[in-house]
Amino acid sequence: MLHIAAESLKKGIFMETKTAFITIAGRTNAGKSSLLNALIGEKIAIISDKTQTTRTRITGLLNVEGTQLVFMDTPGLHKAKNKLSEYMLNSVKESASGVDVVLFVFDCTRRMGEQEKAMISNLINAKTPVVLVLNKIDLLDDKALLAKKLSDLCAEFDFDAVIPVSVIENDGVDLVLEQVLKYAAPSPHYFPDDKLTDRSETYLAAEMVREKLLMLLKDEVPHGIAVEIEKFAERDNKDILDVHVVIYCEKSSHKGIVIGKNGAMLKKIATMARRDLEDFFRIQVNLQCFVKVREDWRNRDGIIRSLGLGE
């Protein structure tokens, strides 16, 4: 009997499991998705130097010694200019309510805006613990300035903790992980322990293509783009994954830009995306991209919903 109990303990049957729900919020471009990827050790959320990269909540999962950490990366705070923006900002609000802690990511090279301040105040008033993650410290040469920013923000808000980090240099990410483990409470795990994200393979594939469009296109063009997967299927002999995507632009003038002279831009986008897809799915990929126009789709509810970007 004693022997069986010892064996069970070894297998973790009696081990108490814990869970923590963590929302990652902050202004657009602060480095939230970069932080999510660094925390879970896999690139599941796309990143770009453009604003409004993340459009919907994406969950990243990490298990640390019996504790399941459920990280929710959210769209960045920005001024809403269309219906899509309104959906994005709603999803931030919804994602930040009722969680165990909010990691508020702030780009320390900027001044904190009113929208960020309002969100932090609302969270603290609602008794949600807020941890300020002061990101991009690699860009600040003057460390005295960092100390001043830190003390000013701490005087203004009652943060649970403040952690200066550079996600890009993987500096301080371990401290963020250490901090979030403090909010874990005994609970069953809500997701299978081997799962990385709540998002489907087709969602991740479409995002990988959109990331390349954000990377290679300028001005308003990438913001008005949506990517939809039309086909995602392994061939019978399982050696090739066929991925067909439709790239929607909101103006016909943008379609020409996406395709480029003699198709050069589209070819570049497709080549970069295919490489990423092959790395992620570990299979040879045949990627076909089609470009279509959907006028002003960011203001059209039906299209926003059909693309999975609405409520």
Query: Would you tell me which residues interact with Mg ion (CB under 5 A)?
Result: 32-33, 53-54
Cα 225 from Cα 18, distance rounded (Å)? 40
Residue 138 or 198 with smaller CB distance to ligand GTP: 138
CB of 154 to Mg ion, least distance (A): 26
> Which of 267, 282, 268 lies closest to 234 in space, CA to CA?
282
Minimum separation from the CB atom of position 27 to ligand GTP (A): 7
Contact partner at residue 128 from ligand GTP, Mg ion, none, CB < 5 to 8 Å by partner kind: none
- 135 touching ligand GTP, by CB under 6 A: yes
Give the Å distances, CA to CA, from 160 to 100, 119, 123, 133, 283: 12, 15, 12, 11, 44
Nearest to 158 by CA among 104, 201, 211: 104
Residue 281 to residue 241: CA distance in whole angstroms: 9
Determine what percent of the chain falls in helix, strand and coil, rounding each to the nearest 5: 40, 25, 35
> Which residue in the set 25, 30, 134, 270 belongs to the binding site for ligand GTP (CB under 6 A)?
30
Q: How many residues bind ligand GTP (CB under 6 A)?
A: 23
Distance between CA atoms of residues 50 and 246, nearest Å = 21
The answer to whether 135 touches 173, Cβ cutoff 8 Å, is no
User: Which tokens belong to 37?
Assistant: 């990827």
Candidates 44-52, 143-151, 216-224, 253-261; binding stretch for ligand GTP (CB under 6 A): 44-52
To 5 degrees, how large is the angle CA 100–CA 106–CA 112? 115
For residue 209, the minimal CB distance to ligand GTP (Å) is 16
**To the nearest whole angstrom, how small is the minimum distance from the Cβ of residue 41 to Mg ion?**
17
Binding-site partner at residue 199 among ligand GTP, Mg ion, none, CB < 5 to 8 Å by type: none
Stretches 51-59, 173-181, 223-231, 271-279: which one binds ligand GTP (CB under 6 A)?
A: 51-59
Q: Which is nearer to Mg ion, 33 or 197 (CB)?
A: 33
Binders in 137-176 for ligand GTP, by CB under 6 A: 138-139, 166-168
User: Which residues of the chain form contacts with ligand GTP (CB under 6 A)?
Assistant: 28-34, 47-49, 51-54, 75-76, 135-136, 138-139, 166-168
